[in-house]
Chains A and B, each alone.
Chain A
Amino acid sequence: MLYAILCYNAEDVVMSWSKAEDDAVMDQLNVVHQRLEREGKLGPSLRLMPTTAATTLHKQKDLVIDGPYAETKEQLLGLYIVDIAGLDEGLAIARELGKANPGGAYELRPLRLYLPGVDMPATESA
């Protein structure tokens, strides 16, 4: 069974950690990451840039808004990782995806850290 573990915390507090504090937390996490990876259980781990780096595309209105997706009437249902030149290309891809699946919104958030982890088999069906 594949699970996603989504990480929530107070951004302003975490972003004001000193490099030493940040490194200390990452070191502690890495101990867990490495064990899970040895056990073949850890796929991609990512650390997102702060919400200030986010841009949101509201699909139906084709409206691009600076900042994270802030509505509460929709829920997080999926995510993509894309390797692209920049935001414009990201928005173009999001619009294309939006045509295939209208409704809701896409938040584009650059990654600060990406660790691929172990290869995982595809699930049987979508």
Chain B
Amino acid sequence: MTDLAWIDGAITAARPQAVGALLRYFRDLDIAEEAFQDACLRALKAWPKNGPPRDPAAWLIMVGRNAAIDGVRKRSRQTALPDDEAALSDLDDVETPLAERLDGADYRDDVLRLMFICCHPELPQTQQVALALRIVSGLSVRQIARAFLVGESAMEQRITRAKARIAGAGVAFETPGPAERAERLAAVAAMVYLIFNEGYSASGPEHAERSPLAGEAIRLGRLLLRLYQTEPEIMGLMALMLLQQSRSAARFDADGGIILMDDQDRALWNGAMIAEGLALIDKAMRHRRTGPYLVQAAIAALHARAATPADTDWTQIDALYATLEQLQPSPVVTLNRAVATSKAFGPEAALAMIAPLEGRLSGYFNYFGVKGALLLQLDRRAEAREAFDRAIGLANSTAEAAHIRQHLDQLTADAKAAGVS
């Protein structure tokens, strides 16, 4: 008995390996995808009848490859192979040597290559994400279109254009050397985190359609980590995603409004995800080689460990942000650090830290949101109002605007109350 849900799960799990291997054989993304589709259709017929194969990925690769070769022969008007439905029943015998031939190293490079072609530097980030969701994850164009709030035909065009661009760019099919492999892995990790953030940062009306992308990124992260078990930055990436995602049930109110971490119901945080994230950080720390994902994961871990907001170790978080600033200097990192600095050392120190950033972050909502909040803590109300006014003009979503509006309304109410008394 092989139920359809199991087949669906097995096919989804096998997809990156299978499409990656087929891409290596045929060196053409469209042929590889078509071959995989063919193999899936045959799996839906064969697996419920014969039971699931021991190695679904090897089965799909084998059958997909045969189907595509057959297709090429038919197209070139040569004699077609005999109908291979008959050959399928013998497949179990063929499967073992094939699976042995396809050793782990090939699989690893196949999956990495498949993911890497989606993050070609010439592709804008939104296209990278759309392409990866289509090719690596196997989401339908309709699902992706819905997540990005565009029409299906517009998304189809976007994906076709992205494919054409990478087909023209040329991807190395030779086994990558260590340096190239490390480079690919870094690019792919960045793309997986991009997919995660597309899902994680969506608020308001986009939230329902887009939040599943965070789960998909976690699935891809697990795949990467299984293939590259000893990479501390992949452990860090995985831990970071798990620790952030652990808060997902507590992050929005019933109307889709953002609930800040301080105000979240920590009982809603997902304990299993937190525990796994912490275990991965523990593993990664043994390597004594730090990187941006691991440091960000360590920051998320300090939040996850605090039973109440007051228990948060802000001094340690501030120190971790200082490390992150060195690894990855950026005004946004400094701005994030300033929030920790204000909690650990007071708003004045934080204001001094962000003052030099104003030129570079003059179009950034969060900058003025943070600045306003710091000024408010110092009771510099007129300046706070000015900062909040600028923030509201730069808000990216109604949820962000609504959050700033609360501060402004409070300031107005306080001013009125003060005027009366």
Instruction: Report which A residues bind B (CB closer than 8 A).
Output: 10-13, 15-18, 21, 49-53, 55, 64-67, 86-88, 110, 112-113
Contact check, B230 vs A12: say whether CB atoms are below 8 A apart: no
Instruction: Name which of A12, A16, A50, A88 has the most chain B CB atoms within 10 A of its CB.
Output: A12
By beta carbon, the residue of chain B nearest A68 is: B229
Contact check, A10 vs B286: say whether CB atoms are below 8 A apart: no
Contact check, B230 vs A110: say whether CB atoms are below 8 A apart: no
Overall SS of chain A's interface: mixed
**How many B residues face the partner with a CB closer than 8 A?**
24
Instruction: Name which of A21, A52, A87 has the most chain B CB atoms within 10 A of its CB.
Output: A52
B24 contacts chain A at the CB level, 8 A cutoff: no
Overall SS of chain B's interface: helix
What A residues does B13 contact at CB under 8 A?
Answer: 10, 12-13, 16
Contact of A15 among B222, B235, B283 (CB under 8 A): B222
In residues 209-225 of chain B, which contact A (Cβ within 8 Å)?
Answer: 215, 219, 222-223, 225
What A residues does B5 contact at CB under 8 A?
Answer: 21
Q: A16-B13, A66-B229 are in contact. Are A87 and B279 (CB under 8 A)?
A: yes
What B residues does A16 contact at CB under 8 A?
Answer: 9, 12-13, 215, 219
**A102 to B6 alpha-carbon distance, docked (Å):** 41
Contact check, A15 vs B219: say whether CB atoms are below 8 A apart: yes
Known: A49-B275, A52-B222. 9 other contacts (CB 8 A): A13-B10, A15-B219, A21-B5, A49-B279, A51-B226, A52-B238, A87-B286, A110-B279, A112-B272
Q: A52-B229, A87-B283 are in contact. Are A10 and B10 (CB under 8 A)?
A: yes
Contact check, A52 vs B282: say whether CB atoms are below 8 A apart: no
What B residues does A110 contact at CB under 8 A?
Answer: 275-276, 279
Give, as a whole number of angstroms, the nearest-CB distance from A88 to chain B.
Answer: 8
Contact of A87 among B223, B230, B282 (CB under 8 A): B282
